[in-house]
Amino acid sequence: MSEFTHHIFVCCNQREPGHSRGCCDPAGSEALRNAFKTEVKNRNLGPCVRANSAGCLDQCELGPVVVIYPQAIWYGGVTVADVPRIIEETVIGGKILEDLRIPSEKLNAAKLDKPKAN
Ligand code: FES
C-alpha cells in the first residue's frame, strides 16, 4: 500500500443553525474539500497527496478546520481562497502558514490529559 506524503482532512461537518459550537460547513456544500481535490488534481499531486472530507475534528470554534497528516499541521479559518497557497506553500514548499495555523496550545486535544506511557 502506498503512503501519501500529505493526507489532507477537511472538516465538512454540519450542525443545525444556532448550535453553540457552530460547524465548519454550514451550507453542506463541501466547497472547501472540493477546492482541495481540484487543486491536487490540477497540480498532478494525486499519487502522493490526498484530500478527504472529514467529520468533526473537534476544533469547531476555529473552523473551517483542515489538518494535514502525517505532519499534523492544523489550519483554522480556512477559506476556498486559501487552498492554492496551502497546496503551493505547505504541501509543495513545506512552509507553515502562520496566519492559518492553529497553535498546539489552542487545540482541544492539548487540553486533555495525555495517556501515560507504561
Ligand atoms: S465541526 Fe469542524 S471541527 Fe467540529
pLDDT digits (tens, 9 = 90+) for 57-101: 999 999 999 999 999 999 999 999 999 999 999 999 999 999 999
CATH class of 6-104: alpha beta
Ligand 1 atom nearest the C-alpha of 13 is 1
Confidence label for 118 from pLDDT (cuts 50, 70 and 90):
low
CA of 118 to the centre of ligand 1 (A): 32
**Residues having CB within 6 Å of any atom of ligand 1:** 11, 13, 23-24, 56-60, 63, 65
Q: Collapse the DSSP code of 82 into the 3-class scheme (helix H, G, I; strand E, B; otherwise coil) and give the result.
A: helix
The pTM of the full predicted model, rounded to 2 decimals, is: 0.91
Q: What are the extents of the domains in the chain?
A: 6-104
Q: Which residue has the cell 472547501?
A: 32
Confidence label for 114 from pLDDT (cuts 50, 70 and 90):
low
CA of 10 to the centre of ligand 1 (A): 9
| Main-chain dihedrals φ then ψ at residue 109, nearest 5 degrees | -65, -25
